[in-house]
Chains A and B, each alone.
Chain A
């Protein structure tokens, strides 16, 4: 008798709880009464110019364009400095989700940070839209159902610049590679593209991150007699490599191919040193009226033009808000599914499609840095040499090593 009573009690309780939670869901599909977006970026370190404060401003511009809300539910922005440390990033994101109710994390500059964040986010069933990091591991070995890789990746960079340079006759390569995951990944991707296009790779030298003097490495590159010196590094390392290459006169006999160069790097080095260089990018401020109008707003607040990462953050917030509006929920599974089925367009790109491996595919652009005489104003730096169509810009889905698709599991 007692047993039956407790059973009945148990069932009633369960039903009550279920009813309660159901009514909650019906009334409040967006949890905690707000859509919270976290901008996770490098505020003070070597990547703070390509992301940093600019990423926060880009997200603010998106929130303004959305009127600060989605169907009456306010959008709240949070931001944090991850100091380029994966452990700090992971801990911060965990705190954001558990304590602040963050629904979507964006930017996630630095490949190590992005990989760590994507693990936490998947575990908590929230969403990360990576616009800052480059590694293709995010859509291969380390892909998750909650990670979206926006803006660019090492494959797209290698593909754009590598193919173009070999086509122009630069068929022998030597790499100057930053000695960590990102650099290795960029070198391998580019080497494969170069070989596929009929070129040869003569060698590589790996330098530690944040090296100030590159002359020694460049001398080795010079001795290799390669026509092209591929710079598989980023930020200050790329800037100092280019500077030293000019100083030692390498650029008279050999050509540099910067594999990850941002417009802020060009701005900082100046056109006399960088002219003629090929750059692959996912976005440029001077592409069309829409990008120019948006960049003008950005410029008014930041005093400099946006990078593709900044534009990517804007686009990510717009895309996410659009999906929440359409589905009426912030449930990550529902939102992700909707985004996979509905292409997104904004000033970053048109008809951008989210693939199952998490790669957002869109057009990429092959740029060539202008000669000083061609540039009409500050920040007028690129000639568009080629629009790389969506179908060719990224690693084909058939080649992905993402377990979600190959089904091999972990």
Chain B
């Protein structure tokens, strides 16, 4: 943009906004990474689950008068149950097959989910108000940041840290990692591996739904909202390294910021920049920035 001079203040503002978007990328790619890391499933239904989360929040408010904070808990739980049903009824038959089958199945599932939401709600979408506690904005000196956006960053960082802690530092996480590494041996130790796998998929779905509720007050809730995001999130996961939790979170945030900067200096490329970076990373490090070669 040549007509508008870029000041330090506005640049700081854009960096902060990039961080907010990066937070969404981080939660979504975290869910994908967990599912891929532990189930070896390329979960293309992730965008649809994210959309379902947002819609559950909206339905809870519209039909039952349940507010934002409860939705933040309720919607992910419901979507988690839905995810677990999908895992038990469909996905579990595919673990022994090539990744491609899981990808195709989840892609089909997402088309069905999005199609039915489109049928019932149309594409124009539904509005969701910002919760009262977080309405208004804070003057940071260089920009006035809506409080809600600040909350998004805090909430997503907390969730990402929590997930990392559970998987890397607790006994449950150790079981999970063992189950991924060698399911037969883990089962032999008396650990119920199918149950672990089901819970993991449910947890990944819940993360997507959490991001959906988090996004609801910021963007319009439409059946296509996940569709627009899922491809970028996949790029984030590939850049970070498939299955790497730290990689997913760090690249999610970093790419949000890079995208934000692109929006200032060359806005036309803002939807492409992520993929350019992905191509470059794959050339240099095929396993991704944080991935391990197998």
Contact = CB atoms under 8 A, between A and B. Distances in A.
Interface of A: 44-49, 179, 202-208, 210-213, 215-217, 219-220, 223-224, 235-236, 239-240, 243-244, 247-249, 264-265, 267-270, 273, 304
Given A202-B3, A207-B267, A219-B13, A243 B124 contact: no
Contacts of A205: 1, 267
B18 to A, nearest CB: 7
Given A239-B124, A248-B144, A211 B270 contact: yes
A224 B3 contact: yes
Given A212-B219, A217-B263, A265 B124 contact: yes
Nearest first, the 5 closest Cβ-Cβ pairs linking A and B are A203-B3, A208-B271, A268-B124, A216-B263, A49-B124
Given A217-B263, A240-B219, A268-B220, A49 B17 contact: no
Interface string B235-279: 000000000000000000000000010011001101110000000
Interface string B14-35: 1001101100000000000000
B229 A212 contact: yes
Contacts of B21: 213
Contact of B146 (A44, A239, A248): A248
B194 interface: no
Nearest to B266: A206
B269 to A, nearest CB: 8
Contacts of A213: 17, 20-21, 218-219
A44 B114 CA distance: 10
B66 interface: no
A176 B220 CA distance: 18
B260 A247 contact: no
A308 B159 CA distance: 46
Interface in B112-140: 115, 118, 122-127, 130, 137
B4 interface: yes
Interface residues of B, number: 43
Nearest to A303: B122
B10 interface: yes
Interface centre among B13, B148, B219, B268 (most CB of A within 10 A): B219
Contact of A179 (B115, B137, B219, B268): B268
Contact of B270 (A202, A207, A247): A207
A141 to B, nearest CB: 23
Given A208-B270, A249-B137, A268-B125, A243 B220 contact: yes
19 contacts: A44-B118, A45-B224, A46-B123, A48-B122, A49-B123, A49-B124, A179-B268, A203-B3, A204-B3, A213-B218, A216-B14, A220-B10, A220-B264, A236-B124, A240-B219, A243-B127, A247-B218, A268-B124, A268-B126
B144 A219 contact: no
A269 B3 CA distance: 31
Contacts of A223: 4, 7, 10
Contacts of B3: 202-204, 224
Secondary structure dominating the interface of A: mixed
A212 B220 CA distance: 9
A219 B143 contact: yes
Contact of B4 (A44, A203, A247): A203
A295 B13 CA distance: 46
Contacts of B270: 207-208, 211, 216
A265 B126 CA distance: 10
B77 interface: no
Contacts of A47: 123
A22 to B, nearest CB: 51
B14 A217 contact: no
B198 interface: no
Interface centre among B18, B218, B272 (most CB of A within 10 A): B218
A223 B142 CA distance: 12
B226 to A, nearest CB: 10
A168 to B, nearest CB: 24
A156 B256 CA distance: 38
B225 interface: yes
B228 interface: yes
B110 interface: no
Contact of A206 (B122, B126, B267): B267
Contacts of B124: 49, 235-236, 239, 264-265, 267-268
A236 B130 contact: no
Interface centre among B1, B125, B130, B271 (most CB of A within 10 A): B125
Contacts of B260: 216
A247 B14 contact: no
B237 to A, nearest CB: 18
Interface in B94-110: none
A244 B225 CA distance: 15
A88 B134 CA distance: 46
B225 A212 contact: yes
Contact of A220 (B4, B123, B127, B224): B4
Given A49-B124, A223-B4, A268-B125, A216 B18 contact: yes
